[in-house]
Amino acid sequence: MKRTIDLTIISDVHLGTYGSRAKELLQYLNSIQPGTLILNGDIIDIWQFKKRYFPKSHLKVLKKFIELAAKGTEVIYITGNHDEMLRKFSDLQFGKITLANKKMLELGNKKVWIFHGDVFDASVQHSKWIAKLGGIGYDLLIRINNLINWFLVRMGREKYSLSKQIKNSVKEAVKYISNFENTATELAIENGYDYVICGHIHQPQMREIQTKKGKCTYLNSGDWIENLTALEYHQGKWSLFSYEEHKHELKKRIEDESPDELTLEALISSVTKFNS
């Protein structure tokens, strides 16, 4: 039995990179039936896209989005910085799938503002080549980390995250995350929002922030590279889903409901069929 959820938000999947945990995301998507699915940026990593590397599991994730839409789920793809090329097609809609740069919702009597969050990142806005170089370096770090974890698992030890350790130990990184959260929340309060939801910094979070002008709840859906998290809203309540906490029950399910063989041509065909 699939879990019914009113709204699910995921971000920073980075399909097309070695760090993307597409198989785990597919297990999660196969376990839920959301009324609305919001893809909050950096789903496809166009910055680092290479024809020689786009595994079948990554294609299956894209096809899963289309299948959910075909079965009635409203799918909203909000663009991020790694998939910014899609921003020129903002407000494009076909069937139940919509492409947007941001999304405003009313849930109950609460106003919700959803956007990726790269607008607050000076390195992206003013020195894009530095940001792209950082993205390549991050992907390399993930590949090295995967190799280290392969050896750790073989030795019967717990996996280790290099990038998490770096983020938590470098003061500037910790400060950046705090500034990002505070800036997003302050802007949301000024514009009368009760919730502000971002991705971008790969840091899952749910916390209420109070300022002199009011209060607002900041939410971040994390990523599907290291944290493997999603935001869920159901029956008036927000929660943060963690794959690591549910992986054993998810692995008991059929990993993929799609056919074993899937090509780019098959994906395009499914989109065409859905659009007609």
CA 33 to mean position of chain CA atoms: 17
CA quadruple 256, 259, 264, 267: dihedral sign: negative
Domain ranges of the chain: 3-275
pLDDT higher at 268 or 202: 202
CA atoms within 13 A on the CB side of 225: 33
Classify strands 214-220 and 205-211 as parallel, antiparallel or unpaired. antiparallel
Inter-axis angle of helices 22-29 and 243-251, nearest 10: 70
CA nearest to 42, candidates 239, 199, 207 = 199
- Considering only CA atoms, which of 275, 241, 177, 191 is closest in space to residue 32? 241
Average pLDDT over residues 201-206: 92
Of 13-27, 121-135, 166-180, 189-203, the least confident: 121-135
Provide the token pair at 209.
């922030």
With a CB cutoff of 8 Å and minimum separation 6, the contacts of 201 are 117, 176, 177, 180, 220
Burial of 154 (0-12, 13-18, 19+ CB in 10 A): exposed
How far apart CA 152 and CA 162 sit, in angstroms, is 13
Q: Is the pLDDT of residue 268 over 70?
A: no
Band of pLDDT at residue 126, cut at 50, 70 and 90: very low
In this predicted model, what pLDDT tens digit does every residue of 26-63 receive, in sequence order?
A: 999 999 999 999 999 999 988 777 667 889 999 999 99
More confident residue, 223 or 249: 223
Minimal CA–CA distance to 8: which of 26, 42, 33?
Answer: 33
DSSP H or E stretch at residue 132: helix 128-154
* Reported CATH class of domain 3-275: alpha beta
Sequence-distant (6+) residues with CB within 8 A of 159 are: 149, 152, 153
The Cα-based distances of 125 to 100, 122, 132, 136 in angstroms read 19, 5, 11, 17
Lowest mean pLDDT among 50-59, 86-95, 114-123: 114-123
Burial of 99 (0-12, 13-18, 19+ CB in 10 A): buried
Asked if residue 67 lies in contact with residue 30, where contact means CB atoms within 8 angstroms, the answer is: no
